[in-house]
Structure 1
């Protein structure tokens, strides 16, 4: 017979373990140095949320039942925090919604059984506590619930006050930049910024963000659903055809060894036959969410609309009988991604392969290689594969594995601000390492295409450039309206089989390597290279066509890139009057 006191202690220990388990995702974020923000925005809100659920009913057992879903997700949340140093967010939810995780290189590889065991243990803890609460008829004493509700009301009022202040700042920012759409300015509640790492509130915030952005993109997608180019392949090319468009990230042309850079950043591509580098390619935008749609579609460089008005080259290739694929290491939604995800959704098959997007180290771009191999193994006669990579997105040192830490010191494994000018050397070394890693990924993609012996081509275009404290300039990142913002790396490779079928086009591609090009020409160039035509085709936009004509390269704000004035320090552009 167990002594009642011992039994009570055991039951108390079980309840304590259950409470610690519920709070585990917050407790593992305990700061090394005490911060009141941690108490105010993490510990208290998490505890208050659980208490609120339990106080909804006079009998505590019903509150315990409401806690079960959050308890079951604790192991996954802790795993996510330890593995990716971030909480579950809308990106993670979108990955689950958009992609088969088994094909996404094993998001839970090696820890599935451990998570399952933890879930079983937590269910046992919860079941024992629930049974005890049921048998003992646990319930709130008189006056407890109203007191708790007053506390919750105070916390809600405090959060609402912060929310109001934030919205006033947001409105002021919108007035300064009226071109920025409501969606693009991320009209999410202030709680997103404060509760995004507070379990389980982060789940509710993430679900809301996911819902808002999915509804916004779905509405636009429905408007584009019936859009048609009327594209056909005329004349048809014989044999198997594969076209790969790689949308790069933040890659500058002057950092390629191929273009004369002193460092060995592209040693593999430098020895690749039929590879052309275009050192004078520019993008009209320095923001991913606006620059990538310009690459993919006929959207003008000066078009300020966030969402596209028509479909992309993915749809054009589909109309011509191509199987289409979109593989990405970026995010399926978000302020920087939703306009791009609309075009991704046009593809027959879509996979997002990186559980954390660009915010943490996550998976590297080479995860795309086995994914492409699976696509090529399907042996379809006509394939278009679009790859959206992380490339050289900041933090640069997060974009490559340790074996590519070639130029040191690079600060890999450290937290470095891109705005810290004292970290100039670290940032530049890490950036060059990321370029060398892109060289590795592109080289292997080309080898995969070579092995198919198909008529194939790979076109790589970066979305925008980057400032990295160049010369005496104190600017870093992008969006500063400098020459470095708009110059982008661009490469074209084609197979011997395509060269034999398209001798004039491949010769023109070679002859125009030094010409002034713009990413607005990618749409018509790629279609023309594949012999795709459509009623409104503009062959003067295709640099592989005899009709191509160089024209004024006008940036998003209306400035002509080639005639603009440049300040002597940062090369910031301004119109000539």
Structure 2
């Protein structure tokens, strides 16, 4: 028996320490990413160790309490893989991916290592069984004074976190706060300076789980406000052919970087070779931030509406009312300040798939994962389908948006950390950006080719959310949100199948005419419904640029300024400020 061995107590201590080291081992990866030792120990290791000690102290016998650590230990292999692959700790985004999407399709990033994962989990179970047996045999117990001391330290730590949160709310109040729901969706529970705290495994799982819970509750509250909203939409004429309508929401795509629009580089060779592709050369977005610009694309929300959430549903709901099966496929995020207003409308779809395990902050999966998901949806052969695809497109970091085989415009700095705001990187940034456009060409042309293989009335409309500055000319600005002409000009294009052109020759003719007209992304909602011949009582068909009655409108930006009439000054082509407002949460 182990308890008769004189070395059983030392062995028990060694095995217990091994378990603790196993549970803390993902912290090593955080340190390897360039963190300073002091903050890492204070905000990473110490809180995580304190959490483990609290769990261990819930029972006086170590042999029994050690099993409370098993669920966390079984997640260690996944955490190692996630951090090694994506360079970040598991967060609320990752939890939302797992909770809201078919894991087999969208979060299959563990595929190919199943046997290794199984071996690791088996090893952990054996280690726990051995450790518990040895601890019980050694009769190792907590000294009576230590457990209250650990609980006191834990309470002190929780109090410190609460104080930090309250101070952060005072120092950095939410700008344009509409209600408590917006607050919950507009910032993290702790300031950005506490990122180490959020990367501290296994504490990050607790924090991420809470953040996911808070944001889901907030989204549910907002969704409840429009739950009973109805357009009264219908498709009066039942068409005999299968119908597939696709909306691709682009990201940071500039129209002047498209070969289709005369750009000298071959950035859209695939699309240029497809007959019937119409590029809208003069479209603008009234907003330069995703969280505000995308709702304008997919709903009737206007540029003048500065609220974070819109009190109506989107075109997804309108298509559903007209009898369409609706899908939302995305490589962006399901939660967060930049994404919640979009996710609210995405949730209107019959089926939602978030396909990128890490969102936009890391390399993650490329937009081509949408092609397989799109193929699976088409294979269902449903009579009426609406498919919305939300891409990462050309979102910075540009080099994270495409695989090595599309690194054709050189030098691009792929594989390096390239600062967006350092003008010395101008050539690298511009080459990398053009590579993202080339990759978007590959993805969008792939979608069209799949539609071409269907015997269907099919339409694909791509509209980007906003533009981008890339040190144009002598301009010293990069990124977006600078109120320049480059912020607001967006890439957009349309393709229709032969059956669509036969069914709707006037619409096809009008769309070709619109290629040269001044357009706005806010006309997309009306155009999508017009393309599908969907009608509702308060419909304004003349706003649709697919309608022969369409006439260009005054193009007002979120500032109230008329884009076309306003003077644009300097190399950066800056517009007047107008009714300015602060960008409340960063630059996306």
* Fold match by TM threshold 0.5: yes
The offset of 1:153, in angstroms, is 4.7
**Which residue of 442, 452, 455 corresponds with 1:453?**
455
The offset of 1:214, in angstroms, is 0.5
- Which residue in the other structure is 2:243 paired with? 241
Partner secondary structure for residue 183 of structure 2: coil
- Which residue in the other structure is 2:413 paired with? 411
Q: Distance in 1 between matches of 2:544 and 2:111?
A: 45
Change (3 A) 1:569 1:179: farther
- Which residue in the other structure is 2:190 paired with? 189
- Which residue in the other structure is 2:212 paired with? 210
Question: What are the residue-to-residue correspondences of 1:411-450 with 2, within 5 Å?
Answer: 411-450=413-452
- Which residue in the other structure is 1:516 paired with? 518
Partner secondary structure for residue 431 of structure 2: helix
The offset of 1:199, in angstroms, is 0.6
Partner secondary structure for residue 565 of structure 1: coil
Q: Distance in 2 between matches of 1:551 and 1:277?
A: 19
Are the aligned partners of 1:465 and 1:488 in contact in 2 as well (CA < 8 Å)? Answer: yes
**Which residue of 29, 38, 45 corresponds with 2:40?**
38
Change (3 A) 1:59 1:275: same
Change (3 A) 1:549 1:183: farther
Partner secondary structure for residue 441 of structure 1: helix
Q: Distance in 2 between matches of 1:423 and 1:503?
A: 48
The offset of 1:139, in angstroms, is 1.8
The offset of 1:193, in angstroms, is 3.2
- Which residue in the other structure is 2:307 paired with? 305
Q: Distance in 1 between matches of 2:401 and 2:149?
A: 51
Q: Distance in 2 between matches of 1:70 and 1:478?
A: 41
Q: Distance in 1 between matches of 2:177 and 2:36?
A: 41
Q: Distance in 2 between matches of 1:155 and 1:95?
A: 30
Which runs of 5 or more structure 2 residues have no equivalent in the other structure? Answer: 580-588
- Which residue in the other structure is 1:327 paired with? 329
Q: Distance in 2 between matches of 1:399 and 1:456?
A: 28
Partner secondary structure for residue 245 of structure 1: strand
Change (3 A) 1:241 1:433: same
**Per-residue Cα deviation, 1:247-285 (whole angstroms, up to 9, x for no partner):** 011111111111111211101111211111011111111
- Which residue in the other structure is 2:504 paired with? 502
- Which residue in the other structure is 2:277 paired with? 275
- Which residue in the other structure is 1:291 paired with? 293
**Per-residue Cα deviation, 1:58-110 (whole angstroms, up to 9, x for no partner):** 33345323222211111111111111111111111111111112122722101
Count residues with an aligned counterpart.
574
Are the aligned partners of 2:483 and 2:577 in contact in 1 as well (CA < 8 Å)? Answer: no
Are the aligned partners of 1:59 and 1:137 in contact in 2 as well (CA < 8 Å)? Answer: yes
Change (3 A) 1:576 1:103: closer
- Which residue in the other structure is 2:582 paired with? none
Q: Does 1:76 pair with 2:81?
A: no
Q: Distance in 1 between matches of 2:36 and 2:530?
A: 61
Q: Distance in 2 between matches of 1:133 and 1:154?
A: 30
Question: What are the residue-to-residue correspondences of 1:343-422 with 2, within 5 Å?
Answer: 343-422=345-424
Q: Distance in 2 between matches of 1:483 and 1:331?
A: 27
Partner secondary structure for residue 309 of structure 1: coil
**Per-residue Cα deviation, 1:214-266 (whole angstroms, up to 9, x for no partner):** 11111122222222111122333331111110001111111111111121110
Partner secondary structure for residue 102 of structure 1: helix
Q: TM-score, normalised by structure 1?
A: 0.95
Q: Distance in 1 between matches of 2:324 and 2:160?
A: 56
Are the aligned partners of 2:316 and 2:326 in contact in 1 as well (CA < 8 Å)? Answer: yes
Change (3 A) 1:322 1:124: same
- Which residue in the other structure is 2:87 paired with? 85
Change (3 A) 1:168 1:62: farther
Are the aligned partners of 1:184 and 1:306 in contact in 2 as well (CA < 8 Å)? Answer: no
- Which residue in the other structure is 1:468 paired with? 470
Q: Distance in 1 between matches of 2:106 and 2:178?
A: 37
**Which residue of 220, 223, 241 corresponds with 2:222?**
220
**Per-residue Cα deviation, 1:478-528 (whole angstroms, up to 9, x for no partner):** 111111111110000011111111111100110121111001100111111
Are the aligned partners of 2:393 and 2:401 in contact in 1 as well (CA < 8 Å)? Answer: yes
Q: TM-score, normalised by structure 2?
A: 0.93
Are the aligned partners of 2:331 and 2:391 in contact in 1 as well (CA < 8 Å)? Answer: yes
**Per-residue Cα deviation, 1:100-126 (whole angstroms, up to 9, x for no partner):** 121227221011221122112112112
The offset of 1:10, in angstroms, is 4.6
